[in-house]
Amino acid sequence: MTPQLTKLGSLIARTRVCFGGRQTRAVAVFGGLFVGGLVAVALLLSSNARGVSGRAADSPVGSVRAPAGAESTEPHRALNPPLFAQLKPGPEAQLVSVYEALAEGQFDKASELSQALVKKYPNFALGRLLQADLLATRAGQPAALGAPVNSPSASEPINPRRMEALRRLGALLDPPAKGLVPREFARLAPEVRTAVAVDASRSRLYIFRNGPGGLSLIADFYASVGQAGVSKHAEGDMRTPLGIYWITGALTANQIRPIFGAGAMGLNYPNAWDRSQGKSGRGVYVHGVPDETLAREPYSTDGCVALSNLDYLEVAAKITVLQTPVVIAESLDWVTPATAAEAARAIEPTLAARNASRSTRAANDELMWHDPNGTFENLKGYTLAPFKPTSVIGWFHDAAPLLVVTGVQAADDATRPPMAVRQYWTQREGQWRMVFEGAVPLAVKVESPPVLTRQQAQHRRS
């Protein structure tokens, strides 16, 4: 444990706030307001110590000063640099401004900002709960964002909206270091304009621009995943799949039920690898939310990835159907572009050797690169000419690495046009073996999201 983490833990344990002569632990008083932020920072400082993030482990953050008439055993220190100033205008920026006012010890300012937040975004459930906690605290009745304050228990599940606060603050206080990219994006073809990565552990969706200089992070958004978590295996398990997917199509608001909000973008789940692993299901989307709420709880979908409607529209405007890859991981591994590119270099000798074998036009040579249990489409007329890889995306979260290689397959007859082909490679006993090869579809029909039952719809509105 780092000295900073020890100090924060000590601060939380020792701070006392007095209301009407009654001592109450700050953990209870500011459970959803400030201590939620401190807990997030403490966890993040711990992850920094393990080298997970690029932010320095001594990121300055201090205690909060109590409302007038209260006592605190520690001086306060403001967040530095201010988060609010770094965020684009919107509900999350206004939410963070309330937390920063608390961190600066300005309780009245925090109350005013909270009122403004709720007035501008009345459907922001977390904002309303934050305002309720502030009002309760001012009245001398400490609240912990819906959780009991008299007998807190580690065994009790965390309030979903408090978890939302922790996830939002955590992602903003500890962003990936500038210049890092998810390890999965080994190489993207120049025509791939954008890429998307979802970190379920942080409830965050990241979108990257792919340019001449490589990938650059251009925006990130709070996101919700399946109510049962991640790692989808079967239809109806309420989990969000983990792996490498592509946006197959987009539906507008007038093509879907209101519960999916501003729109829905389909994902190609189950992909070829999922099917080889016995996974099933359908209808996995990145979509918006119903009008009655600004954002859903971190774990609340039927297996999709949900964004606020404003965020969804911003993401949808940047994607290219059938070209934009989407990596969904329980936790992203941020590395330098050079490190990410190692996976692409690792498969190059195998691809070159396979091209050399194909040029001999020996059918049995082709089989040596195939996994015995693999699936291979009949690409008649495209079986002997060289294959040119353009994109390589890796998956390193299972026992054996998986590489998805997309490229251009020349025709055996030079008068015919080339074909876009996608291959899935994994390692068997230290050797790369192809488990799937097929043509990249030119168009995919995206079915509308299923209509929820009345019971499910009522659950979403509660």
Cα(277)–Cα(387) distance, integer angstroms: 26
Q: May I ask the CATH architecture of the domain 181-337+445-461?
A: Beta Barrel (2.40)
Cα(34)–Cα(291) distance, integer angstroms: 28
Q: What is the mean pLDDT of the chain?
A: 79
CB 331 within 8 A of CB 203: no
The series of mean pLDDT values per 10 residues for the chain, 462 residues long, is 34 29 36 40 37 30 33 38 68 90 86 95 93 86 49 64 90 92 98 97 97 95 97 96 96 90 96 94 95 95 97 96 96 98 96 84 69 90 91 96 96 92 93 94 78 46 38
Q: Quick one: fold of 338-439?
A: Nuclear Transport Factor 2; Chain: A, (3.10.450)
Cα(72)–Cα(161) distance, integer angstroms: 27
Q: What is the pLDDT of residue 65?
A: 30
Q: How many CB atoms lie within 10 A of CB 160?
A: 18
Cα(54)–Cα(44) distance, integer angstroms: 11
| The three-state (H, E, C) secondary structure of 112-162, written as one string | HHHHHHHHHCCCCHHHHHHHHHHHHHHCCCCEECCECCCCCCCCCCCCHHH
Cα(326)–Cα(241) distance, integer angstroms: 11
27-82 residue pLDDT tens: 333 433 444 444 334 344 334 333 333 322 222 222 223 334 433 333 333 444 55
* Domain chopping of the chain, boundaries: 3-173, 181-337+445-461, 338-439
- pTM, entire model: 0.81
CB 192 within 8 A of CB 323: yes
Cα(443)–Cα(436) distance, integer angstroms: 20
Partners of 118 in the beta sheet? none
What are 94's two structure tokens?
């206004």
The C-alpha R_g of the chain, in whole angstroms, comes to 25
Q: What is the pLDDT of residue 102?
A: 83
Closest among 92, 27, 93 to 64, alpha carbons compared: 27
Cα(249)–Cα(264) distance, integer angstroms: 8
Q: What is the pLDDT of residue 367?
A: 74
Cα 219 from chain centroid (whole Å)? 12
404-462 residue pLDDT tens: 999 999 998 989 999 999 999 999 888 999 999 999 988 787 777 765 443 444 444 43
Cα 279 from chain centroid (whole Å)? 21
Cα(101)–Cα(6) distance, integer angstroms: 24
Place of tokens 């965050």: 204
CB 137 within 8 A of CB 68: no
Q: Judging by DSSP bridges, how do beta strands 194-199 and 325-329 pair with one another?
A: parallel
Using CA of residue 292, residue 294, residue 299, residue 304, what is the dihedral sign?
positive
Q: How many CB atoms lie within 10 A of CB 122?
A: 12
CB 255 within 8 A of CB 345: no
Q: What is the pLDDT of residue 279?
A: 96
